Amino acid sequence: MPVQCSNCVQRRAVLKRPKTGHSLCKDCFFWAFEEEIHQTIVSAGLFNRGETVAIGASGGKDSTVLAHVMKVLNERYDYGLSLLLLSVDEGITGYRDDSLETVKRNQQQYELPLKIVSYEELYGWTMDAIVKQVGLKNNCTFCGVFRRQALDRGAMMLKVDKICTGHNADDVAETVLMNVLRGDIARLCRCTSISTASDGEGAIPRCKPLKYAYEKEIVLYAYFKKLDYFSTECIYSPNAYRGHARAFLKDLESIRPSSIIDVIHSSETLSIKEGVKMPVQGTCSRCGYISSQALCKSCVLLEGLNRGLPKLGIGKHHRLHGKILAQEPLTEQEEKKLKPVNCNCRL
């Protein structure tokens, strides 16, 4: 027997919400999904009228749904925002070039301006070239650090007031678990913040309107709305550390669907005991970007690549920052530790 929508009790339900368990028709699901994001935006005061907001667009489901919903809500509730799309081309052949075609179609569909910045123009490296040098073990570290800074640089070029990203509830919960497993207290304290802003050059505030939206519901929204998005996983990410946290979280969700929100709420209410030393944020001596060290992670990684010492930015090598800033040569022993280990991995 067909199940009726538990909200309007008029139309046939087409889905059971993973987040709440309610059986809803398409129209009621669309409204509930959009209204929850609207409430998140309003309650957190994410935007102010007249602001220019860059939407981080990758062509994937999260950023495509974010762009669609932001446009809908901006018009429905008259936020008064000027929206545009900002994409980063990491230089991954067979992956990013295809997803950027989706972004270009989204630009036409949503009638929003689009800016694309690339690793090659910003850093002189593509991810394809980086992976050839470092292999498949720590490549996600390079990509994550470079992409974060690339978004900021692109936003500075566009002179936007804020950047909003498609991080969803699953992403946030995974990050919490990763920081717990790493013992990274500083990141654990700030990873659930819905809006982040730091002092320093290029520190444009970021926000996560989809923070409380389940990944499964984002997929359902994109599916029933027939949105145009790119669904292929990055070819270099199978060994990413995040994958282990994701698998664990999915196991928890299958037993207790509220686990995702529970993990987020646990981190939001976390308190650190008095006396724990926390890193002090400053600026990079070389590029002026926000950093808690003399050199930001991006500059250290880039220095390692340019010197043929890719391990320089992997792990803790802060004592070498002085030599890097002074352009001093490293000792033979130091270089030996930082050179890549030859392997037979197939790229």
- pLDDT per position as a tens digit, 207-255: 999 999 999 999 999 999 999 999 888 888 877 788 899 999 999 999 9
Report d(CA 301, CA 307) in Å as an integer. Answer: 10
* Of 213, 248, 269, the domain-final residue: 269
Are 209 and 170 found together in one domain?
A: yes
Are 152 and 202 found together in one domain?
A: yes
User: How many domains is the chain built from?
Assistant: 2
200 domain-assigned: yes
Are 181 and 293 found together in one domain?
A: no
Q: Residues 237, 140: contact at Cβ < 8 Å?
A: yes
Any idea what the CATH number is for the domain that residue 100 is in? 3.40.50.620
Are 128 and 248 found together in one domain?
A: yes
| pLDDT class of 346 with cuts at 50, 70, 90 | very low
Q: Which domain holds residue 33?
A: 26-269
Binding-site residue ranges for ATP: 56-58, 62, 88, 166, 171
Q: Residues 87, 96: contact at Cβ < 8 Å?
A: no
30 domain-assigned: yes
347 domain-assigned: no
Q: Is the dihedral of CA 323, 329, 332, 337 positive or negative?
A: positive
Are 227 and 324 found together in one domain?
A: no
Are 156 and 218 found together in one domain?
A: yes
Token readout for 331 is 């000792």
* Of 247, 269, 291, the domain-final residue: 269
Are 208 and 127 found together in one domain?
A: yes
Are 183 and 311 found together in one domain?
A: no
CB atoms inside a 10 Å sphere around CB 205: 17
250 domain-assigned: yes
Least confident span in 2-16, 34-48, 114-128, 190-204 = 190-204
296 domain-assigned: yes
How much is the pLDDT for 337? 60
How much is the pLDDT for 147? 94
Q: Residue 137: pLDDT above 90?
A: no
Are 296 and 171 found together in one domain?
A: no
Helices (H), 45-162: 61-76, 96-110, 119-123, 127-134, 139-158
Bridge-based pairing state of the strands 282-283 and 290-291: antiparallel
Residue 177 main-chain phi, psi, to 5 deg: -60, -40
**Range 298-326 average pLDDT:** 74
42 domain-assigned: yes
Binding-site residue ranges: 56-58, 62, 88, 166, 171
In the block, which residue shows the tokens 């309007």? 8
Alpha carbon separation from 46 to 131, 202, 261 (Å, rounded)? 37, 19, 20
13 domain-assigned: no
Q: Residue 319: pLDDT above 80?
A: no
H-run or E-run covering 54? strand 52-56
Residue 205 main-chain phi, psi, to 5 deg: -55, 140
Token readout for 160 is 């936007």
17 Cβ neighbours under 8 A, 6+ residues apart: 23, 24, 29, 32, 217
| pLDDT class of 335 with cuts at 50, 70, 90 | low
Identify which has the larger pLDDT, 137 or 92: 92
Q: Residues 96, 59: contact at Cβ < 8 Å?
A: no
239 Cβ neighbours under 8 A, 6+ residues apart: 136, 137, 140
Are 260 and 299 found together in one domain?
A: no
Are 219 and 81 found together in one domain?
A: yes
How much is the pLDDT for 309? 80
Q: Residues 300, 317: contact at Cβ < 8 Å?
A: yes
Token readout for 62 is 């999260």
In the block, which residue shows the tokens 């640089």? 153
Q: Residue 339: pLDDT above 70?
A: no
Q: Residue 318: pLDDT above 70?
A: no
* Of 227, 248, 269, the domain-final residue: 269
Are 177 and 304 found together in one domain?
A: no
Residues 26-36 pLDDT 10s: 999 999 999 99
pLDDT, the chain, mean: 88
